[in-house]
Amino acid sequence: MKKSGAQLVVKIILALFALVAAFTIPFPGMGIEGMEVSASFNAALLSTKDPDKIIKNEDREVAYVFLMEHIGSLEALYDISPEAHAKMDAVFRQANVFIANNDMTVSQLVAYVSEVEADLSEAARMNIDGAEQFLFLNNTVGIPSGKYNEPVRVMLSVINLGKAAVTDVVITPVQDTDPKKWPFVIQTATDTRMIKCISAASSIEEGYLLHQDVAWDFIISNDAYTGTYPIKFHAKYYRNGKIEETDLTTYVNVTGRPGRMLIEEEKKEDEDKLPPSTPRIIVTGFVTDPAEVYAGDTFHLTITVQNTSATSTVSNVQFDLKAATEGDNKETTYEAFLPTSGSASIFVNKIAPGETKDLNIEMTARSDLAQKPYVIDLKANYEDAKHNPFSATTSVSIPVKQEARIDYGDAEVLPESIEVGGQSNVMFQVYNKGKTTLYNVQVVFDAPSVDGGSTFLGKLEPGATGNVDAMVNGVAPTEDDGIVRAVISYEDEAGRVTTLEKEINLYVYEPMMDEGDWGMEDFDMGMEEEKAFPWAAVIGGGIGGLILLIIIICVIVSSAKKKKARQQELDDLDD
């Protein structure tokens, strides 16, 4: 067998493989007696070798090369599935190991290689259904071409790769009335061709030599579209006395009338004529850190954008952020938010179809902003895959809050001292010094010695003043330093309640008692009774009279001391 340079390279590679395989253990039970000799391999090997001689390494290399060439031919002929490839690899590896580890004659090697050749062919045809395992089109025949209203010859060169001959092969074109499926003029109901016999071949090469040709002369229709058409033919034949069927497909290049193209070409041309579709970039959300932005604060803004196109990647994307402007005229206008880096632009190299990107920037809210939402416009300039320019503008709204600032004036308390059961008038002012409105402003007074006086001021606009004018009641004597807490509470726009306290001085004391309160009436009554009392009899009564006299003296002295102490206390209060 004549060897090309590529075959010599394969021989070297396989020789190395054989040397490795020579150290493996031969597979048991793989005898070679009684094997049939392959004509294709026999002619190449036995022409110069004695069939009874024991093979040498060079003979083994020839066998490896032949099997490799056979595998290449099968791969060119079949659409081999992954499972078939795996089976072929297993067969080839097993053959290599067997040939490398067995001493045999040349004729025995020829017989074994012929069997491996058949096994490889069978493995290659795995998952191929029906008669296509045996009948194929000769791939050396070119595809015909034709023009509308002109004849064209379509020829099938059929080969038989089976181990048995096929006879009475009837081949019929599968016609269709759709000009996009059948580009020819339908002249007859059937247009059958017959092949009497296609002989079996002992090798692929011989199968190509035994091909049988049949041809049809078609006229391309005036309504045919420009394009490449698959033309299907149905074949029926006998093999081993049984009818089998298969489909054979070839192709024809057709040039139709100007402007008529197959669906795929029409669609492509229509797409080329249409203006490019606009890939959209939208904002899907944003967050700020911190979550609540107060006037004067610096915050991080993260905006999430998405390319909504399902097919187009956008590139060279430049995002420009512009905050809402505040002010009444050109001289006093300003942006509500300013980037801390000085630049309000963000660049993104590309965004794939459906992909999202996060845009991050640090900004500062001006300290004099009113409490309300402020808009930031986000403008995007970008290109599609064909460098067509696009732009899109969207916006986000960021609520800005102002810290509530509330204050109060000095309190006027009239009178500053009251007795239990009395009233005092408390007056002071509440100021809203912030830039946000205060809601449900009210004042309550908290102390054990007083109650009442609650005052509701309602809503206080920025800069407004609320006046507190309350009457509080003394309910218990003051036992501490005379401090009464005025608790001021209010709500912001979110309904959150804030409180602060103001201290005022108000003293509550016990009410002053008259003489009756200090027991003097009882004492006077006792004195009257004393005048009417028979002192002589009492004195004359001895010790009992003396005891009674001592009790009366003690009562008088005690009453005088209490009266003097109470008067001193009242004087101190007046001071």
Domain boundary assignment for the chain: 5-128, 132-265, 281-401, 406-509, 520-574
> Could you tell me where the beta strands, DSSP code E, fall in 81-201?
135-137, 145-147, 151-160, 166-173, 193-198
Beta bridge partners of 325: 335
What would the mean pLDDT of 49-66 be, rounded to a whole number?
Answer: 84
CA angle 253, 259, 263 (to 5 degrees): 60
What's the distance, CA 28 to chain centroid?
58
**Structural class in CATH, domain 132-265:** mainly beta
Residue 425: band (very low, low, confident or very high) from pLDDT cuts 50, 70, 90: very high
Q: Are strands 389-401 and 293-294 parallel, antiparallel or unpaired?
A: parallel
Mean pLDDT across the chain: 77
Q: Which amino acid is at 234?
A: H
Residue 367: band (very low, low, confident or very high) from pLDDT cuts 50, 70, 90: confident
State the Cα–Cα distance between residues 154 and 276, nearest whole angstrom. 41
State the Cα–Cα distance between residues 489 and 562, nearest whole angstrom. 47
Domain 281-401 maps to which CATH number in 2.60.40.10, 3.30.360.10, 2.40.50.140, 3.40.190.10? 2.60.40.10
Instruction: Note whether 281-401 and 406-509 share their fold.
Output: yes
What would the mean pLDDT of 504-514 be, rounded to a whole number?
Answer: 81
Locus of tokens 């045996």: 134
Global model pTM greater than 0.85: no
Helix, strand or coil, per DSSP, at residue 475: coil
Residue 343: band (very low, low, confident or very high) from pLDDT cuts 50, 70, 90: confident
CATH hierarchy code of domain 406-509: 2.60.40.10
Residue 275: band (very low, low, confident or very high) from pLDDT cuts 50, 70, 90: low
Q: Which of 263-267, 340-344, 365-369 has the lowest mean pLDDT?
A: 263-267
Residue 129: band (very low, low, confident or very high) from pLDDT cuts 50, 70, 90: very low
State the Cα–Cα distance between residues 432 and 402, nearest whole angstrom. 12
Locus of tokens 């009756």: 516
What six digits make up the tokens of 391?
């732009």
Q: Are strands 334-335 and 325-326 parallel, antiparallel or unpaired?
A: antiparallel
What six digits make up the tokens of 536?
């002589």
Residue 195: band (very low, low, confident or very high) from pLDDT cuts 50, 70, 90: very high
Residue 565's pLDDT is 61
What six digits make up the tokens of 318?
């430049």
State the Cα–Cα distance between residues 404 and 496, nearest whole angstrom. 11
